[in-house]
Amino acid sequence: MPRTILGIDLGTAQIKLTLMELSGKKASLIGQERLSRDRNASAESVAEGIRQAIDVMGLSASRTVLCLNSRQALLIPLSFPFTQTTKIREVLPFELESRISVDMEAYHWGFLHLDGAESGSSRILAAMYPRAALSEWLHAFDQAGIALDRIELDLAPLAGLALEVAEQPDEDEMLLDIGWSKTNLVRLHEGRLVALTSISSGLKRLYPENGVGPGAGSQSSEENESSFSRKLNELVRQIRRAVLAEAAGTPPKLTVLGGGAAAPELIKALHQTTGSEVKALASLPWDVRVTVEDPPLQALSASLCLQGRKGRPGFDLLPPERSGRRALPAWRRFSRPMAVSLGLILLTWSLSLGSAIYLEHKALKRLNQRLEETFRSVAPEAPPDLRPMQYASVLRTRVRELQSGPQTEGLPKIQATELLSLISRHVPRDADFQATLLSFDANGLRINGLARDYKTVDSLQSALSQVDIFSSVEIIGANVDSRDEGVTFSLRLQLS
């Protein structure tokens, strides 16, 4: 089912809105709008202006993402002798606190992975954004009635765009987003993301605050031209230093977007001073249904719509309590071995004692004791009040059923082990799904799980309908997973 996503690029001089439609792996741009931004306007008036533009232009979407200016963020590149994302998230606050002398409580932080690390290690770029400024924008958009599903720094969609437009994966390429108040740089080396940075030099160095070109004012045209040339050379020198620093001395190919792409004298000066091939972004790398008036300006808001998908780096500065995400505990790194251990215990227990053990409280007590011992041996640092059932949804469901007491009437006509074996023989070998719940009673079986797509759910229903022991097999629920990981489904299998 196609989904619509609205990307809001909150620039210093302009606000860019782009509406995209995602259908499978295909992305299409279906609407766009640009708004001038008064740099003295409050956050509430900016958000209200965006809401009015959304209503007038028909840009409402099922998902809305916001792009903030990286000029207010603290960017810190770090390396770690391990690769696990959960472990990085766990130790990063302590590492940041030891590196910079700021109050960590005053910042909200995120990070994205960079390539180029040695085997067994990782490189990241951490970003710390003022919590007060973030709260101000969240409150403003709440007041305007715009629900935000993700908040990114403009470096993240620029990095995603770089991966999309790279022409020669075996060469060095760099994207420059030259805006009004800053310039962002993203470098690719052999098709891999290796560097991101931001410098506080932008087009405001060339033009007066009112945006008028170098010929305005009471000075003579010669004086204006001389002043503009000096400012241009100064801006180019600063950009050149940043480019060469990130490129390790080797001039890469440069692609310019943002307001700088509309300044041919700037592109020419960059070419002359860096010796690199420099060009403006010519087109968006996606299917386009509407005329894109200015691809270099609209590119970041369009790329922003794709943030959060697999393979696209991002910070996601939306607080966990706003996005429904829960902060990961310190012992989360033990979850995988713990889940494997608990799964093996469940399998051994089921095969050895059969379904009769589910009706005996004594057997349940022994199982709980074994699970507790295994859990404590795998995660000895876990809090005392943490129970292993929190990370084993199948066991949790079975235990809740057993806690209601033994049932002496309405026993099933077939043992659970026989029923599971019969289902296994009829499930298609190429079915790509994961079962998260098996609920078995006297009348039938319920299967909940996560499938790759709706076609997989249909194939499961069709295959299980061929089993004689079931009088009916029906789909009682199938929905796209909120994390874009497939389709959650629920099947009810009625015993004959």
192 vs 145: which has the higher pLDDT = 145
User: Is 188 in contact with 163 (CB distance < 8 Å)?
Assistant: yes
pLDDT category of residue 333 using cuts at 50, 70 and 90: very low
Please provide the distance, in angstroms rounded to a whole number, between the alpha carbons at the two ends of the chain: 35
Per residue, the 3-state secondary structure of 77-135, as one string, reads EEEECCCCHHHHHHHHHHHHHHHCCCCHHHEEEEEEEECCCCCCCEEEEEEEEEHHHHH
Angle between helices 43-57 and 131-144 (to 10 degrees): 40
Higher pLDDT, 60 or 207: 60
Contact status, residue 128 vs residue 109, Cβ threshold 8 Å:
yes
- Is the per-residue pLDDT at 396 higher than 60? no
pLDDT of residue 170: 64
> How far, in Å, are 108, 234, 242, 343 from residue 393 at the CA level?
32, 61, 50, 11
As a whole number of angstroms, the distance between CA 202 and CA 242 comes to: 13
Largest CA distance in the chain: 101
Model pLDDT, residue 403: 53
Residue with token string 């204006």: 224
Share of the chain above pLDDT 70, in %: 82
pLDDT confidence of residue 215: 42
Query: How much is the pLDDT for 326?
Result: 42
Q: Is the pLDDT of residue 304 over 90?
A: yes
Residue 346 pLDDT greater than 60, yes or no: yes
Residues 369, 375: Cα–Cα separation, whole Å: 10
Give 218's pLDDT tier (boundaries 50, 70, 90): very low
H helix intervals, 356-453: 361-378, 393-402, 416-426
Q: Is the pLDDT of residue 174 over 60?
A: yes
Q: Is 266 helix (H, G, I), strand (E, B) or coil?
A: helix
Please report which confidence band the pLDDT of residue 400 belongs to, taking 50, 70 and 90 as the band edges: low
Distance, in Å, from the CA atom of 451 to the CA atom of 433, rounded to the nearest integer, reads 4
Binned at pLDDT 50, 70 and 90, residue 137 comes out as very high
- pTM above 0.85? no
Q: Is the pLDDT of residue 432 over 80?
A: yes
The pLDDT value recorded for residue 395 is 47
Interacting residues of 208 by C-beta distance below 8 A, sequence separation 6+: 216, 217
